[in-house]
Amino acid sequence: MYFVDTIETAGIGNRGYLAGGERTAVVVDPPRDIDRVIAAAARRGVRIAHVVETHIHNDYVTGGPELARVTGAAYLVPAGARVSFERVPVRDGDTTAVDPGSGLNLRAMATPGHTPHHTAYVLEHDGTAVAVFTGGSLLIGAVGRPDLVEPRLTERLARAQHASVHQLAAELPDDTEVLPTHGFGSFCASGPVAGSATTVGKEKAGNDALTQDVDAFVAALLAGLDDIPAYYAHMNPANAAGPAPLDLTPPAVADADDIATRLAAGEWVVDLRSRAAFAQGHVAGSFNFAAEGQLATHLAWLIPPGKPVTLLAESAGQLAAAQRELARVGIDRPAAAATGAPSDWVREGERPSSFPRATFADLAGRRTDHGTVVLDVRRDSERAGGFIAGSVHIPLHHLRPRLREIPDAEVWVHCAGGTRAAIAASLLDAAGRAVIAVDDSFDAAERAGLVVREGATGPGCAGSETGR
């Protein structure tokens, strides 16, 4: 008997796993908030005997060291990873007994590509491979990107990635379940991932890494690499040093005067409410990063490292969930927080600010007005697939330092679906610009009568920036 439970962290697009038998279990690539993992083990009635990492992660802070400390588990990390803490170094071919009584073992397979030291782990039941924890190696219909370590290594790692997934496919039975860490929204994936489950056999039939020769695969992979979130530069060093224990105690409570003082000092005040609620009324100067969706990715990508942040939430539950999610990407302790509504957060005699929301149909009705600027805040790869003629292009993650490039006129800002447009609108509004947030799917732009062009990138394009 054995089981594999998924520990989903949807906000950053990753999965960890708890796998075990009747008495003991192993945790693979644990999230930072380890209480979820401990609760999962308690529900199964098993002891966590081993914690393993497939690699030193670039997109989130691991909970591995703390989980191992709290549970007394052995902490297994690839031997080639350069870390500053005690661990059990794992090498290709090493086998670990997960639950001896259940005939459950874990076998390490060196799979360089996503990182030079990347290691996959084959779960074997009575000597037969039943699943493989592939981390950032073989994903569902894709592979982990090879450009997060060092630009000079990118092509070499891309070729290693091709060889690694072919080794997995050659050595494992077709019905072996493939259980990756990345690929569910994480920017560690090299391309779009479709579906939530797969096997080695399915990947052999449809994954480009397994159907193309190495040269064709590498050329396509390198040509399709997207921007890298800026905060990734801080995740690997944090994980290599050994992250501090997670502290989710409530932050200090901010009143209206505190909020105003923090804004005046240049600190970030982040409103977690929905984009519709924020547009209707908010504290002037605050930014809107809605709690639903990829809060951690968006905020960590844009906020300067170490900048104090105050969180505004509509409820204590929303605040606690956001604090947990932000800690996963190293935004550990909000400087302060407040719950309620804008009327609670502005000083006496002041009124909340607001700006309009619109659709692409509304925008089409205004295009004869030459005082209107259309701002596209999508990434370069999205822009290449089609853009509104005459629009200015500044990807969201480049917007704040480039606000002066936007012509002095009313700005209609859009993205692919509305989330990033809302963030951009809040940045523009805080800078004193007249802004309208287009809360609509980009698919509706052409149907609304707007001219959508493809191929070239159009004016104001940021070029091929990596966003490091």
Q: DSSP states of 346-370 as a string?
A: S-TT---B---EE-HHHHHTTTT-T
Report whether 57 contacts 236 (CB < 8 A): yes
Burial letters for 330-355: b for 16+ Cβ neighbours within 10 Å, e otherwise? bbbebbbbbbeebeebbeeeeebbeb
Residue 88 has pLDDT above 60, yes or no: yes
The confidence band for 466, taking pLDDT boundaries of 50, 70 and 90, is very low
Q: What is the mean pLDDT of residues 77-84?
A: 97
The Cα 158–Cα 214 span in angstroms is 9
Q: Are 388 and 345 spatial neighbours (Cβ–Cβ below 8 Å)?
A: no
Q: Which helix (H) or strand (E) holds 238?
A: helix 232-241
- What one-letter code names the amino acid at 427? L
pLDDT in tens, 451-460: 999 875 555 5
Residue 191, pLDDT score: 82
* For range 199-223, the mean pLDDT: 97
Residue linked to tokens 């707007």: 450
Give the least confident one: 264-273, 291-300, 433-442: 291-300
Phi, psi of 353 (to 5 degrees): -90, 165
Residue 49 · residue 32 · CB < 8 Å: no
Lowest mean pLDDT among 37-46, 105-114, 140-149, 367-376: 367-376
312: tokens are 């505004």
What rounded mean pLDDT belongs to the chain?
95
CA distance 379 to 2: 43
Whether residue 32 is predicted with pLDDT greater than 80 in this model: the reply is: yes
User: pLDDT of 378-413, one tens digit each?
Assistant: 999 999 999 999 999 999 999 999 999 999 999 999
Tokens of 362: 């509304």
pLDDT of 99 higher than 70: yes
Number of H helices, E strands in the chain: 16, 22
Sequence letter at residue 333: R
* pLDDT > 90: percent of the chain: 93
Quick one: CA dihedral 306, 118, 155, 177, positive or negative? negative
Which of residues 92 and 459 earns the better pLDDT score? 92
Query: Is 133's pLDDT higher than 90?
Result: yes
| For residue 54, pLDDT beyond 60 | yes
195: confidence class by pLDDT, cuts 50, 70, 90: confident
Report pLDDT digits (tens) over 322-362: 999 999 999 999 999 999 999 999 999 999 999 999 999 99
pLDDT above 50 (res 468): no
The pLDDT of residue 291 is above 80: yes
Of 178, 176, 188, 114, the closest CA to residue 140 belongs to 178
Residue 370 — very low, low, confident or very high, per pLDDT cuts 50/70/90?
Answer: low
CA 328-418-279 angle, to 5 degrees, is 90
Q: How far apart are CA 108 and CA 96, in angstroms?
A: 8
Give residue 456's pLDDT: 56
* Cα–Cα distances in angstroms (integers) from residue 302 to residues 20, 42, 380, 392, in the given order: 39, 38, 17, 20
pLDDT value of position 95 = 98
Neighbours of 253 (CB within 10 A): 10
The predicted structure's pLDDT at residue 162: 98
Residue 367 has pLDDT above 90, yes or no: no
Tell me the C-alpha distance between 408 and 363, whole Å.
18
Query: Considering the entire predicted model, what is its pTM?
Result: 0.93
pLDDT at 194: 74
Per-residue confidence (pLDDT) for residue 463, from 0 to 100: 33
Residue 319 to residue 291: CA distance in whole angstroms: 8
Strand partners, 436: 412
Q: Where does the pLDDT of residue 209 fall: very low under 50, low under 70, confident under 90, or very high at 90 and above?
A: very high
Q: What is the mean pLDDT of residues 270-279?
A: 98
Q: Assess whether pLDDT exceeds 80 at residue 292.
A: yes
